[in-house]
Amino acid sequence: MNSQWIEEHLTPYLPAGTDLSIYCRPLEQGTPVVYHERVLPSASLIKLPIMSTLFRKDKEGTVSFSEKLRITSPVEGGSYYKRGGTLATISELIFHMIVESDNTCTNVLIDRLGMDAVNEEIRRLGMTHTILQRKMMDFIASRDGRENMTTVSDMGRFFSLLSRGHAVDAARDQRMLDILSHQEDNCILPAQLPHTVRVDHKTGELDGIYHDCGLIYAPSGPFILCLMADGVSDEPRLFYGLSYFTRAVYDELARS
The mean pLDDT of 71-85, rounded to a whole number, is 76
Share of the chain above pLDDT 90, in %: 82
pLDDT value of position 255: 82
| DSSP, residue by residue, 3-23 | HHHHHHHHGGGSPTT-EEEEE
pLDDT in tens, 183-240: 999 999 999 999 999 999 999 999 999 999 999 999 999 999 999 999 999 999 999 9
Please check whether residue 47 is in contact with residue 98, taking contact to mean a CB–CB distance below 8 angstroms.
yes
Look at residue 85 and tell me whether its pLDDT is greater than 90.
no
The mean pLDDT of 139-165, rounded to a whole number, is 95
Residues of the chain with CATH 3.40.710.10: 1-38+151-256
Q: What is the DSSP letter of 13?
A: G
Torsions phi, psi of 150, nearest 5? -165, 180
Please check whether residue 227 is in contact with residue 214, taking contact to mean a CB–CB distance below 8 angstroms.
no
pLDDT value of position 84: 72
pLDDT value of position 12: 82
Torsions phi, psi of 58, nearest 5? -65, -45
pLDDT value of position 15: 87
Look at residue 76 and tell me whether its pLDDT is greater than 80.
no
| pLDDT tier, 176 (very low <50, low <70, confident <90, very high otherwise) | very high
pLDDT value of position 159: 98
Q: Which is the CATH superfamily of the domain at 1-38+151-256?
A: DD-peptidase/beta-lactamase superfamily (3.40.710.10)
pLDDT in tens, 87-128: 999 999 999 999 999 999 999 999 999 999 999 999 999 999
| DSSP, residue by residue, 61-82 | TS--TT-EEE--S--SSSTTTT
Look at residue 82 and tell me whether its pLDDT is greater than 80.
no
Q: Which is nearest to 131 in space by CA: 205, 45, 214, 206?
A: 45
The mean pLDDT of 176-181, rounded to a whole number, is 98
Rounded to two decimals, the pTM is 0.95
